[in-house]
Structure 1
Amino acid sequence: MNNGTIRHMAIFTLKHPAGSAEAEKFLQDGVRILSNIPAVNNFEVLRQISAKCDFEYGFSMEFTDQAAYDAYNNHPDHQAFVSERWDTEVAGFQEIDLMK
């Protein structure tokens, strides 16, 4: 079971108030930057609706295999987004990686 599609999800809360212009810009930039990395498939921005979870947003994407996921993690656009935006604007997060 190690040759299947990988679903990577990052659920997070921003330092910006929910619905603020800054939060919307972060989400829009995430779509623009991360979905354009060649290995990324089915990129989605999600908003939390459960009262059981403290995180407000989610990024979800798929990779055809581990090599594609590794290529994404090592891609300069991903690394720049993490260091320039994620590390400075995200208050808390959890990552989940599942294989189909």
Structure 2
Amino acid sequence: MGQTSIHHMVIFSLKHAMGSEEAEAFMRDVESQLTMIPVVKQFHAFRLKPNNPLDYGISMVFDSEEDYQTYVTHPLHDDFEDNRWKIEATQGMVIDYEI
């Protein structure tokens, strides 16, 4: 069996109206900042279909648990969480799984 990868998904809504310039700026910024963390692979930012209770999502893959922990403790992650996420996100759910 091959190496296990860690898949990380966050599903969320923002205080901004879906599709607004503020929401779109948040989504651009989350991608530009988190993809600067070297261990982040296969990053995707997306809108959820209207039949979902939340509006947006991001997903990424890590090659190992060590890489995932590097991401979680990285200064760019901490900065985005403290200065954007905690201010602009209204609801969220984190889904982590291994493949």
TM-score by length of 2: 0.95
Amino acid at match of 2:6: I
Cα shift readout 1:21-47 (whole Å, capped 9, x = no counterpart)? 100000000010001101100000011
Counterpart check, 1:17 vs 2:11: no
Q: Tell me which amino acid in the other structure corresponds to 1:70.
A: Q
- Structure 2 unaligned spans of 5+: none
Structure 1: tracts of 5 or more residues without a match: none
Deviation larger for 42-51 or 71-80? 42-51
> Post-superposition shift, 1:50?
5.1
Question: TM-score w.r.t. structure 1 length?
Answer: 0.94
2-structure distance, mates of 1:31, 1:50: 22
Q: CA RMSD in A?
A: 1.2
Residue in 2 aligned with 1:40? Answer: 40
Partner of 1:66: 65
Number of residue pairs aligned between Structure 1 and Structure 2: 98
Q: Which runs of 4+ in 1 moved over 4 A?
A: none
Q: Distance in 1 between matches of 2:19 and 2:50?
A: 17
